[in-house]
Each structure stands twice: as C-alpha cells, then as structure tokens.
Amino acid sequence: MNLLNKLRSVYQYVSNMGYTWFLFRLKYELLKRISYFDRVNSSILKKLELTSINEFKYHKIYLVNENYKADFSFKEKADNASLGKIFSFSHEYLDYSDGNILNWHINPISKVESNRNLSWNNLPDFGEYGDIKLIWEASRFPQVYFFINAYSISHEEKYAKECISQIISWIKNNPYPKGVNYKCGQEISFRIFSWIVALDYFNDFFREEEKSDIVRNIYISLLRVNANINYAAKSVKNNHSISEAAGLFIGGLLFPQFKESKQFIKKGIKYLSYETNYQIYKDGSYIQHSFTYQRLALDVLSFLMLVAKRKNFILPEEIKSRHNDMIIFLNSFVQENGYLPNYGSNDGANLFPLSADNYRDFRNSLNFANIINNKLKIFDSHADIAHFFNLKSDIFDKKEKKKKFTDGGYFILENNNIFAFIRSHTYRDRPASNDMFHLDIWVNGKNIFCDTGSYSYNTDKSFKNNFIGVIGHNTIMINNNNQMEQVLNFGWSNWTKADTINFNENSFSGKNYSYVKKFGVLHFRDIKLEDDKITIVDDINNITTKTNIKQIWNTKSKVEIIDMYTLKVDNCKITSNTKYKIEKSYISEYYNSYDTGTKIIFEIDIEKNYKIKTTMDFN
C-alpha cells in the first residue's frame, strides 16, 4: 500500500507539472544515457579549436563607475578571500583553501572533493561531495566585489592582482567540460557577470593574455549555456531560465566578435520575453513563491537592462513592464529597516554584494531597479549598486504600496503599528513549502511571528521538514500531516488550494482545502486587525473521527509563560481558547545556517468541529 501511495503521489506530481514537462524529462534522461551531451561537449571544443585568437580580444565595456569609492570597508572579506576563505551565502566564511591554493572542486565543510576529471553531464546533483551549492559558491565569484571594494578605498594593487589571480586559477583548474562548475547554466551566467565586472573595473591591471584567457572561457561558457538552456526553461521552470537567457543576451551584446553573438542575443531575448511573461504574474508576484528568489530575478533583469542601455539596445517593452511590476510587488512588503518577510526558498543568492546592508535589506536592489527602469529612486540612501554602475537620480518615486495580490495569493493587513501578510492561493506552479494560510506578523518593524526559511536543499528529509513542512509556518496542521506529499527532492503532490472569501486592509477570511482529500477536513481562517490587536479564528469543519488540530506560531522572540492558555512573546500577549505546548523551532534566515527559536502550538484532539480562537494583544 505504501508503494501504491508513492506511485499515486508521483502520478499527481507529474499531472501538476504537465505531461510536456514529463516528456521533456524523459527525453533528457535518455539523451544523458546515450552520451548525447558528450557529443555536445566535443562539438563545443571543436568550435573552440576553429576560433581565431582575434575573437578573444577584450574591449573595455564601461559598465562600472571608474571613480567608484565605497562608503564602507570590505577589507576583511577581501583579505580572507585572498586566503581562500570566501564570505558565502551573505552570511559566513567558508574555507576553500587547499594548501597554498584555492580548491574550486571541494566542499568547504566536509572537505570532500568532487571528481574534477568527469564531464559536468556525468556528475550527479547529489553526490558523495554533499551539497553541491557549497562547492559552487566560490565559483560564483562574490569575492570580485570584495576585492573591488577594498581596492576602491585603499588603492592597494594587491586586491586587483588577487582578483585576477583567482579568475586565472579558476580557468586553469576548470578545463571545459570537466567538473561540477559547468553543471548549472545559472551558476555559469553569474560567474560571467562577475568576470565582466572585474574586467571592466580592473581593466588596467590585466595583461592582454589574461584578458584573452577570460574571454575565451566566457565564449566556452556561453556555448555551454546555449546548448542546454532548454533544460532550465522546460524542466527547472524558474529563475534559472531568466538567468541563463540574460547570460546569453549580455554575452552576445558585450562580445560581438563571437560568430554566434547575434544568435546569443536573439535567443536570449526570445527566452526572456517568454519567461518573464510566464514567471512574473500579472500582479508582480513570482512563480517561485519566494521573496529572495524574486529579488535575484529582479537583479538579473536590472543588470540586463543596464547592459542594454549602455549598448543602445532597445529591449521589448514587456520585459521592462514585468520588471516594474516586480518592483511594485516587492516594495509593498518592505519594512522600515529594508527587510522583507523571511518567506519562501532562500539559497543566499546576492548578485551584487556591494552594500554594507544586511543581505535581507532589499532597498539597494529596489533602488537599482527603479533607477534603471524609471530613472527615479525609491529610498533616499541605499543606492550603492546604482552608484557602482554610475546611475544617478535625485528624484524620488513614491511607489504605490498595494495590499492585495490575487494572482500570487498575497494579502497584506496593516495599520500604523502592525504589518501582517497571509498566503491564500491555489498553486498552479510548483510549490516549495507547505505554507497555505501562513500568517507573518511584524510589530513596529520587528518580525514577531515568522516563516522559518528553507535552510538547505541537501539535508536529511526529516530535518528539512522543520523548514518546508507545515510546522515551519504559522498555520493549521491536521493529524501531524503536511498539506502536501513530498515527491523526490523538490516536488510535492496534491498541490494546495484555497479561496479568499473576503479581504480588506483590516480583515481577511478564506477557505483552505489542503486537508480535504486526506481527512475530509475543511479549514476556514478569519483574521481581524485592530489598532493594537490581531484576532485569528481557525474554524475546522467536517470532523467525523478523532482529529488532532495544531495552530502553530514560530518566533525568535523571548517567550514567557503566563498561564496554560496565555504567553507573552516579546511585547505581545498571545491568548487562546486552546491549551498550548512549546517546542523548539529552527529558523533559517541564510542558506546553510539556522538559529533556534520557539514554536508555540495551540493543540487539541477532538471528534467534532472546532474553532481555535487566538488573540494577540500588542498594547
């Protein structure tokens, strides 16, 4: 029976993803087994042999501000990067040193090395080397920005020389098509972006042969992305395809000497036009149901628009329009400190780590985006990225802050002191978490009840459930079950459905169907916001047998016990008609890292319909 349930879940997952997706995956796996990609690799190498050395000459691009000087110091990050200790995932130093050199193939935590002699297509996503993202991080080259920052302040040539040395080291130790660092087209594109910035800023420090080596590898990398972008567009179906299409477009535009450049530009625009229309919903919300991934897509498009502007290339209006929709959406959730809720999958990606701001502060990205698209800034300060790329604006854009995003299923309740948002959505694209009716609550800029994040994509499934399962969200759990059944590593079957019955900025009511199929249970959630108070009523209907109900609240704040129905969380008194229990919560704000918090659970076993009524008083 267990096997039958698994097969049923896989079938549901395939049905949700679509049979075109399934047939493409089937074809892709077949192509891998008949060595198709080995032949593609050979074809790329043959093209390289037939390419004239003149095509690898570098011509300065003039993307960055030649007079850029940072207002803060990343000297520590630059000095550590020189020793092979890369500030990774915008949070922690990971040590990639191996003797006196930087090892581009090693997991910096386990110290297990991936096979550098196998072609990218013959290496697994989940091998003995553990989390492949740990290996990839140094090869994204965030350290380029640390070296630039340190040089801009100190003018010490050692930072320019070390930056160049690491790029050349990477090229020598990653001959195409060998190793994991050619495995992902998005990672390749991010590396190209960093190298373009390094070439432009440190232009005077490169020897001509070094420039030629870098341009040569950029050419190989673009051919690799071009040959396999369909995998991102038709199988992964998320920001990967936007990043890879942007990589092709930017590479083609900035290196017109490549004989395939016009093809790269045309193909990049074709995919960008389709993918932005597909991935960015009409209300500006995003297909991946993640604020940080949406910011990544926004940064990619902002950079693409910058390059197009400098090269006098007119982009399709639909790309600029979707880009602006994302600005409006993300800006609607910005708190006073620039943070957005810790909602959705988060791999720590920060395309332009040029700011002293905390990684969770979105203001630099939003200013960069709005200045490049609308020639206006949203925030008075936090324009480090725009300054680096020589973009200026002294005129403000008072962006409208919307409360309702029906396409994506985000609803904001807000007054002078309290900000809250709830997810109410019928998934039509692959969900990442069991988060239906998750309620995020901020008081005076502090996230009192939060989402627990996503931690890592390659960890024990039971521990991973602490983040992506129902228990990682502030919603209702029935019979200790998730809202969906997990399929493989990134998939879910029985995608959740919900209806929004009523909404205004002070109240919400909705109907959640997550547990109907498995238990016949229907969940109604009503929320009322007053001046200093929120009341949440969870009405659980259609109960016919003994049922366990949990109303869950995750917090990093201090929790004090008052009585068996009441607690104090920070400056909030939370009271329910149902007894609580307290458990440890795991909360991840950065990839590969988590802190412990508290999980408050109002719980009851009951054999008839029941309402959990909880009041949060912030007075």
Work out the number of other CB atoms within 10 angstroms of the CB of residue 83: 14
Q: In angstroms, how far is the first alpha carbon of the chain from the final one? A: 53
- Give a yes or no: residue 204 inside a domain: yes
Question: Residue 1's pLDDT is what?
Answer: 45
- Which domain-ending residue is among 366, 382, 402? 402
d(CA 129, CA 152): 37
Question: Residue 394's pLDDT is what?
Answer: 85
CB 120 within 8 A of CB 184: no
331 and 431 co-located in one domain: no
Burial 56-73 (b: 16+ CB within 10 A, else e): bebeebebbbeebebeee
210 and 198 co-located in one domain: yes
- Give a yes or no: residue 112 inside a domain: yes
4 and 64 co-located in one domain: no
Phi-psi region of 444 (alpha: psi -120 to 50; beta: other; left: phi over 0): left
Residues 6+ away with beta carbon under 8 Å from 27 = none
206 and 65 co-located in one domain: yes
Tally of domains within the chain: 4
- Which domain-ending residue is among 277, 312, 334? 277
d(CA 139, CA 131): 14
- Give a yes or no: residue 332 inside a domain: yes
517: domain range? 404-617
CATH for 126: 1.50.10.100
- Give a yes or no: residue 226 inside a domain: yes
496 and 573 co-located in one domain: yes
> Could you say which DSSP state residue 405 is in?
E
CA dihedral 26, 29, 30, 36 (to 10 degrees): 140
Q: What is the CA radius of gyration of the chain?
A: 25
Question: Residue 484's pLDDT is what?
Answer: 95
410 and 367 co-located in one domain: no
Supply the pTM of this predicted model.
0.97
135 and 188 co-located in one domain: yes
Residues in the chain where the model's pLDDT stays below 50: 1
Question: Residue 619's pLDDT is what?
Answer: 84
- Give a yes or no: residue 435 inside a domain: yes
Question: Residue 191's pLDDT is what?
Answer: 98
233 and 359 co-located in one domain: no
74 and 14 co-located in one domain: no
200 and 54 co-located in one domain: yes
CB 289 within 8 A of CB 346: no
422 and 545 co-located in one domain: yes
- Give a yes or no: residue 39 inside a domain: no
- Give a yes or no: residue 521 inside a domain: yes
Question: Residue 260's pLDDT is what?
Answer: 97
What are the residue ranges of helices labelled H in 202-260? 208-231, 239-254
CB 384 within 8 A of CB 404: no
155 and 124 co-located in one domain: yes
**Helix, strand, coil proportions of the chain in percent (round to 5)?**
40, 25, 35
- Which domain-ending residue is among 255, 277, 299? 277
- Give a yes or no: residue 40 inside a domain: no
Per-residue pLDDT of 121-145, as tens digits, reads 999 988 899 999 999 999 999 999 9
